[in-house]
Amino acid sequence: MNNFPNLKKPTHLFATLFGIGKLPFGPGTWGSVATVFLWVGCSSSIQSNFMILIFILFFSVIICHLATRNLVEKDQKSIVIDEFAGMWLALFIVSDVAAAGLTFLLFRVFDIFKPFPISYIDKNMKSGLGIVLDDLVAGLAAGYLTVLIYSFL
């Protein structure tokens, strides 16, 4: 499929976060920025945030699977729903608006440089789950590292 993403297709629209993934420079960063703003705007009870997180995790895997099933290169740069899921997980762990900036920076570092095991997942799992899983591991690392840093401050 040469015309990816086709924003007329709902799966492509969601995979690109309504076209954010088509931005020319650093689409993953833009997807992560959008996530921070949405998370800050939606911050509510821990139970509500947990239910939102579970929905995002399942929805992003399904969308990545459906959007990429006919593609040779599965993890397209314009797919940013995986960054959305990973960043939301990191912010859920931190649960502090004041720490969102550091969480964002750490998430981007882990997502861009992909230290092990993130790199292993990125290279070896080429499915909807694999596309999202490397970002979830980056989100776990960013979230818990932020908590660790803030506990020492």
- Domain segments of the chain as ranges: 28-152
pLDDT tens-place string over residues 29-61: 999 999 999 998 886 778 888 999 999 999 999
pLDDT score of 1: 43
| pTM value surpassing 0.85 | yes
pLDDT score of 24: 85
What band does 76 get if pLDDT is binned at 50, 70 and 90?
Answer: confident
pLDDT over 70 (residue 66)? yes
At 40, list the tokens.
Answer: 């800050």
Q: Which long-range contacts (CB under 8 A, 24 or more apart) does 5-12 make?
A: 5/67, 5/76, 5/78, 5/79, 9/67, 11/63, 11/66, 11/67, 12/67
Average pLDDT, the chain: 92
Reduced to 3 states, what is the DSSP secondary structure of residue 8? Answer: coil
